[in-house]
Homo-oligomer: A and B are copies of this chain.
Amino acid sequence: SVNPDLASERLTGSFCVPRLTAVLDGGAERTRLRRAVVDVIESDPVFSRENQYFQDQNERYEAAVRKAVHVRKKMQELGWSKDGPESVYVYRALSGDVAFLLHRVFMRSISMLGSDKQVAKWIPLATEYQLIGSYGQTELGHGTYLQGLETTAVFDINTQEFILNTPTISAMKWWPGDMGRSATHTVVFAQLYIHGKCYGVHPFIVQIRSLQDHSLCPGVTAGDIGPKMNFEHIDNGYLMLKNVRIPRENMLNKFCEVQPDGTYVRHGSQQINYFTMTSVRISLISDEVILPLMKACTIAIRYSVVRRQSKLKPGEEEAKILDYQTQQEKLLPQLAAAYAFHFINNYLHELFDKSYKEIQGRNFDSLPELHALSAGFKAMVTQYCTSGVEICLRACGGHGYSLLSGLPSLYTKILASCIYEGENTILLLQTARFLIKCFTAASAGQPVPPSVTYLAAIKPRKCPAKDKLDFLSPDMYTDAYQHAAIRLISSTAAKLQDLIQSGAESHEAWNQCTVQLVQAAKAHCHYITVKNFVETVEKLESTAGIQNIMKHLRDLFALHGIFSNAGIFLHDGYITGAQMDMVTASYLDLLAIVRKDAVPLVDAFDFTDKSLNSALGAYDGQVYQRLYEWARKAPTNKQISPAYEKYLKPLLHNKLSKL
C-alpha cells in the first residue's frame, strides 16, 4: 500500500504524468519499448542488484562479469542486435552495473581507427567474447594531456615487429577498465619510434593474457589498481610492458601506417581523433550524468513528502519537510536542472548527428563548434549534476547517508564523471579558447558558428524589468544571461589583450586569465541551456497540459541561476539591486508553485523501484519499513563478530547477567 502522504501528492498534479513521460522518451512508442526492455532485465534474477550494497569488490566484480556474459546471451536469444534500439535501454536498465564496458570501447576504437582487414579480424572475436579487450590510454603520470604519454613502441625492421616498453613507473597504464583481471587484449597508446625518430602517440593491439589459461603473457605485468570511491564492479587495472613484441599488423592503421621498410604514412585527417572523444563525451551525458540526477531527485522528493519533521504551525501535526521553503530551495532547482539538461542533451545529439553527416561528406567545418560545445557542456553538466546529487543526498539527512538510500552510490559514481573523459577545468578552457577566438572574429565582423553569433549582437545595456512578474518572461532572463556571457567573454578578452600589450608572453597572459576564462565558458553554456529550454518549451505548445508546468520549471531553472550567481548580473548594473530583489521574489514564488507538482514531476521520469534501488525512494513511500527490512539483511547482522569473544568478554562485568 502506498504511504498516504505520498498518495495524496499524486491526486493534485496539474498535468498528465504519462504524457510527460512520453515527451521525455521522445514519443509513447519509445516509452513502450523502454518498458519492455526494463521488464526483461528486471525479471531475470541474474541482473538483480538487490544485494549490491552488501557486496565487496570481489563479489561485485564476479557479478558484473556474470551479467556481461548473460546479457549477451539474452540479447542473442531475443534477437536484439548490439546496435539496435533495445541496446541503449538494456545498458540503462543495468544501471551500468555490468563488466566489459571498456571492451566495448576497445571494439569502438578498432572500428574507428582500424583498417578493414583489422576490423574483419578482431571485431568478430570480440563480439563473441572469444577475447576480452581493454583500452590503455591513461598512464599513472598522464591523463587528459595525451601528448605526454610515455609508453614507447619501437619499430624493429628486422622482425617487422613493434617492441613495446614502459620506460618509467609513471608510464605504467593505470585506470583502464576490464584490464585488472579480465582482459586478454588491449589497445595501447604509445609513442611510435622508427629509426630513432618519434612520430607521436599511436594505438596498438597488444595481447596481455593467455587465451588458454589466462596467465599474463611474457613481459607483461598487470593487476587491479585497488579500491575506489565507486566502480567496485570494474577491474580498473595497471599494465607494464617490458620488450613486448607485437606484429606490424597490430598497429591500428586506418589513418596512419608503418610500411615494412619503416616508412611512415598518414592517410586522411588527424581531426577525426577529435571526433571519437567528442562522441564519447556526448554519449555519456545522458546515462552517466543526467539519469543519476533524475534518480536522486526522485528519491529525495518522494522521501521529503513522507518525512514529517517539526511543526510549521504550532499545534498542527508535524509538517512534510518539502513544505519548508529551505527544503524546496534545495531540491526543486535540481529537478528543474534535470529537465534543462535532458533538453540540452537532445540539442547536443542533434548537433552531433548533423556534424556527423557533414563529416561523412568530408566537410569538417562544424568540428570546432561541436568540440567546444561538447567539452563545455560535459564540464558544466557533470559539475552541476554532481553537486545536485550531493544536495539531494544531504537533504535526506542521516537516512541519505545510508547506502540503502541509494544516494551515496549515485554520488560517488557521478563524481567520477567530473574527472574522466577530460578533466572539467581543462575542458572549460578549451571552450573558452573557442569563445575568445569567435569573439575576436565577431568583433571584426567575420562570420562565426551559429551558437556564438550572439557575441556580435548589440543589446540594451540595462534590464528593463519593472516588476517581479517581468522576470517570468523568457526574453527578460534570456537577455540577461546573454548579456552576462558577452560581458565575461569580452572583458576577459580585453584583459588578455592588455596583458599581452604590456609585454606578457601569450602563454603567461593566458594562464593569468584562466580563472576568468572558466567563468566565461560556464556563463556561455548556462546561457545556451536557458535559451534551449525556452525554445524546447515553445515547441511543446501542442502538448496540452504539459506546457504550463514546463514553463514553471524553465522559469525556475533560469531564475535560480540568476539568484545564485547574482554577482555576474549585478556587476555592471545590467540588473540593479532592486531588480535582483524582484528576481528573488519571483524565484521564491516559483518554489511554492513547483512544489505542488514535485511528485508527479519525478514520477514522470518513470524509474522502477529496482532501478532506483533505494529504501527511501520507492514508489510506495514505505521508507521506514524498507530501511528496517533492508538493514536486517546486512552481513553485519548475519555474523557474530569475533570481537566479542576476543576483546569484550574478558572485560565485561559478567558476574551478573543484569546490573
Contact = CB atoms under 8 A, between A and B. Distances in A.
Interface of A: 53-54, 56-58, 61-62, 65-66, 68-69, 125, 128-132, 138, 140-145, 148, 169-170, 172, 174-175, 180-182, 184-185, 207, 210-214, 217, 223-229, 235, 238, 307-314, 318, 323-327, 329-330, 390, 394, 397-398, 400-404, 408, 412, 415-416, 418-420, 423, 425-426, 429, 505, 507-508, 511-516, 518, 565-573, 577, 580, 584, 588, 624-625, 627-628, 630-637, 639, 641-644, 646-649, 651-659
Contacts of A570: 566-567, 570-571, 577
Given A138-B398, A169-B628, A401-B419, 18 more contacts: A54-B226, A65-B648, A172-B624, A172-B628, A175-B398, A211-B653, A211-B654, A225-B631, A226-B404, A229-B403, A324-B514, A325-B512, A326-B514, A329-B515, A397-B423, A408-B412, A515-B588, A566-B570
A174 to B, nearest CB: 8
9 contacts: A129-B648, A138-B398, A182-B643, A182-B644, A207-B658, A207-B659, A225-B634, A226-B636, A567-B580
B642 A211 contact: no
Given A53-B227, A507-B314, A567-B567, A66 B401 contact: no
A588 B512 contact: yes
Contact of A507 (B62, B313, B643): B313
A511 B325 contact: yes
A412 B429 CA distance: 29
Given A140-B627, A172-B628, A398-B420, A69 B326 contact: no
B657 A211 contact: yes
Nearest to A225: B631
A218 to B, nearest CB: 10
A374 to B, nearest CB: 20
Contacts of A420: 398
A141 B132 CA distance: 49
A656 B647 CA distance: 55
B515 A653 contact: no
Contact of A309 (B145, B326, B652, B658): B145
B425 A398 contact: no
A130 B653 contact: yes
B313 A643 contact: no
A169 B624 contact: yes
Contacts of A641: 58, 61-62, 65, 181
B624 A170 contact: yes
A143 B56 contact: no
Given A226-B54, A324-B514, A507-B312, A577 B588 contact: no
A425 B326 contact: yes
A184 B651 CA distance: 12
A181 B638 CA distance: 11
Contact of A65 (B229, B403, B643): B643
A627 B142 CA distance: 14
Given A572-B577, A628-B172, A56 B56 contact: yes
B62 A402 contact: no
Contacts of A515: 325-326, 329, 588
A223 B632 contact: yes
Given A145-B309, A238-B628, A636-B224, A416 B397 contact: no
Nearest first, the 10 closest Cβ-Cβ pairs linking A and B are: A566-B567, A130-B653, A226-B634, A224-B636, A567-B567, A65-B643, A570-B570, A227-B403, A145-B310, A226-B631
Central interface residue in A53, A68, A566, by most chain B CB within 10 Å: A566
Given A131-B652, A148-B310, A226-B402, A514 B325 contact: yes
Contacts of A656: 211-212
A166 to B, nearest CB: 11
A628 B170 CA distance: 10
A577 B461 CA distance: 14
Nearest to A240: B628
A44 B147 CA distance: 46
Contact of A402 (B130, B212, B227): B227
Nearest to A170: B624
Given A318-B148, A577-B571, A182 B226 contact: no
Contact of A228 (B212, B401, B513): B401
Contact of A429 (B223, B314, B326, B653): B326
A212 B654 CA distance: 5
A44 to B, nearest CB: 15
Contacts of A138: 398
A404 B227 contact: yes
B211 A634 contact: no
Contact of A511 (B143, B180, B324, B568): B324
A577 B566 contact: no
A293 to B, nearest CB: 17
Central interface residue in A140, A330, A398, A580, by most chain B CB within 10 Å: A398
A8 B384 CA distance: 38
Contacts of A516: 584
A566 B61 CA distance: 47
A61 B505 CA distance: 57
A246 to B, nearest CB: 10
Given A143-B397, A419-B398, A570-B571, A211 B580 contact: no
